Homo-oligomer: A and B are copies of this chain.
Amino acid sequence: MSSSPVEERSRAGRESAARVALVEATAQIMLDEGYAAATSRRVAAKAGVKSALVHYYFPTMDDLFVEVVRTRAEMNLQRQREALSDDEPLHALWRISSEHDARLWMEIMALANHRKAIRSEIAAYADRFRDVEESVVTLALRSHGADMAAFPPVVLSMIVAILPRMVVLEQHLGITRGHAEATAFVEQYLDRFELRKESRSDP
């Protein structure tokens, strides 16, 4: 290991500048031009290194894609953790979904449809993510004595997770119909289960 003092805390060279740059460049190209455009030569150029280095860090391109999924999954789970300590975790989760880079995840899902390694990675992530979502929603509903048989928390959490992502995707395609109504509808339901009376326009 040729770690300088500054790098010493990084885990076994997994965070060398070039490696991190390659993963980030790959995500960026996938987002901008699609997963098919993320070739070893293109990501190397964007990261400012030569393409042979891609194969030094990631023997196959699949290894690189898996690392992109892992990295972005951890980023999102971290954002989710932060949302839990929000005053209104339900609203915070909804906001995460909206800000979420839905378009990158669409690329990742399309990729996962045809690559086993990525499929397992994304499935594991989705399970962890939905775990947290469901428990937050369950808590919110319970504290309002909602009828959870008629309105299962996991369903509300799926709608809260999926609808805003779909709106983002559609907007990029030039589709806008129903978006305003869908957003208003979900927010109205969130308010119903998580509105701190003393905090709205009347502090």
A: residues with CB less than 8 A from B are: 32-37, 103, 106-107, 109-114, 119-120, 122-123, 126-127, 130, 134, 150-152, 154-155, 157-159, 162-163, 166, 169-170, 172-175, 177-178, 181-182, 185, 188
- A106-B113 contact given A134-B178, A163-B162, A174-B119, CB 8 Å threshold: yes
5 contacts across the A-B interface (CB closer than 8 A): A35-B36, A107-B110, A120-B174, A155-B178, A162-B162
Q: How far is the CA of A151 from the CA of B173 in the complex (A)?
A: 26
Q: Which residues of chain B have C-beta atoms less than 8 A from A159's C-beta?
A: 159, 163
A178 shortest CB reach to chain B, Å: 4
> CB distance B181 to A123 under 8 Å?
no
Separation in Å of the A191 CB from the closest CB of chain B?
13
Q: A34-B114, A106-B109, A113-B173 are in contact. List 8 more A-B contacts (CB 8 A).
A: A37-B114, A113-B172, A123-B173, A123-B174, A126-B175, A130-B177, A154-B177, A158-B182
Q: Say what secondary structure dominates the interface of chain A.
A: helix
Q: A36-B35, A159-B163, A175-B126 are in contact. Are A154 and B170 (CB under 8 A)?
A: no
A112 and B93 CA atoms in complex are apart in Å by 28
Given contacts A114-B33, A127-B175, contact A181 B163 (CB under 8 A): no
